[in-house]
């Protein structure tokens, strides 16, 4: 009786670099294919990414986590009635629903320096996990710096540009939106932050600054708050955001120990 043939997994010369990234590198080979373990992990990561896209904003959880800010919290929604419409019609996600716009108008909130918005975007999982810690720290730091704050707004089925209308209605000089980014196969929980000075409907993306990949394995929330405050201070000093406001606060990323 023949003994079963032993399967050999050929390792990759880049194996040592796997310690520095969650990216799919140095997978090894079994014959002409990738190993079964790596194939199954790829399918699991794809499932996590898909779950993130269809995850829901934890409105009650965020309201509870943000209570210590002592700021009013408004819950609004875009013109996308459900997730399927949101995914098929990105333009609807950029527009406030009429009843939500009316509610913000009727709030008669006083004009403020900064309006903070949290939107589900393409990964509510990301903002459910990281938005509260960023906002709580940011509110504390902004108040110490002397900035006034508008009510916090939670947006369901929202995209980045919806912040223009919200900031304009609330008469904010600058708007910050924290939003779930498009999930990657190694990052279903990545949160982005977009800053826009003098928000009004109709602005385009060159008027914004963005911090991306806010999460424990990317840009940690504490570091993100420091960078956001540097950008906010610079925006008020220069009276602008966008392509003419560069993130050159002097900090440098750590270098990989290669060579």
CA 33, 45, 180, 135 torsion-angle sign: negative
With contact defined as beta carbons under 8 Å apart, do 149 and 112 qualify? yes
- Rounded to 10°, the helix 124-144/36-53 angle is 60
Selection from 209, 211, 164, 219 nearest residue 187 by Cα: 219
User: Quick one: tokens of 185?
Assistant: 């196969």
Give the residue ranges of the annotated binding site for adenosylcob(III)alamin: 160, 181, 210
With contact defined as beta carbons under 8 Å apart, do 114 and 232 qualify? yes
Residue 254 dihedral angles phi and psi, to the nearest 5°: -65, 145
Selection from 194, 43, 193 nearest residue 133 by Cα: 193
Residue 178 dihedral angles phi and psi, to the nearest 5°: -100, 130
User: Quick one: tokens of 228?
Assistant: 């956001």
The side-by-side arrangement of strands in the sheet containing 112-119 is 73-77, 152-156, 112-119, 172-180, 191-197, 208-214
Give the residue ranges of the annotated binding site: 160, 181, 210
């Amino acid at each position: 009786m023949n003994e079963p043939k032993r399967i050999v997994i050929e390792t990759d010369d880049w194996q040592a670099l796997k310690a520095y990234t969650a990216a799919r590198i140095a997978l090894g080979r079994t014959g002409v294919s990738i190993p079964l373990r790596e194939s199954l992990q790829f399918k699991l990561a794809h499932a996590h990414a898909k779950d993130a896209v269809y995850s829901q904003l934890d409105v009650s959880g965020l309201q509870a986590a943000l209570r210590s800010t002592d700021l009013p919290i408004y819950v609004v929604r875009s013109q996308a009635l459900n997730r399927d419409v949101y995914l098929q019609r990105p333009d609807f996600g950029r527009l406030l629903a009429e009843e939500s716009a009316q509610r913000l108008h009727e709030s008669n909130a006083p004009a403020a320096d900064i309006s903070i918005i949290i939107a589900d975007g393409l990964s509510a999982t990301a903002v459910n996990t990281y938005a509260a810690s960023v906002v709580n720290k940011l509110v504390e730091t902004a108040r110490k710096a002397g900035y006034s704050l508008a009510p916090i707004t939670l947006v369901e089925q929202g995209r980045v540009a919806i912040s223009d209308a919200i900031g304009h209605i609330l008469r904010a000089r600058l708007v910050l939106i924290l939003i779930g980014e498009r999930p990657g196969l190694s990052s279903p929980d990545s949160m982005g932050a977009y800053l826009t000075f003098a928000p009004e409907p109709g602005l385009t993306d060159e008027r914004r600054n963005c911090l991306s990949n806010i999460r424990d394995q990317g840009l940690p929330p504490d570091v993100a708050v420091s960078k956001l405050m540097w950008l906010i201070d610079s925006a008020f000093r220069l009276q602008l955001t966008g392509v003419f406001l560069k993130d050159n606060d002097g900090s440098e990323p750590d270098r990989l120990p290669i060579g």
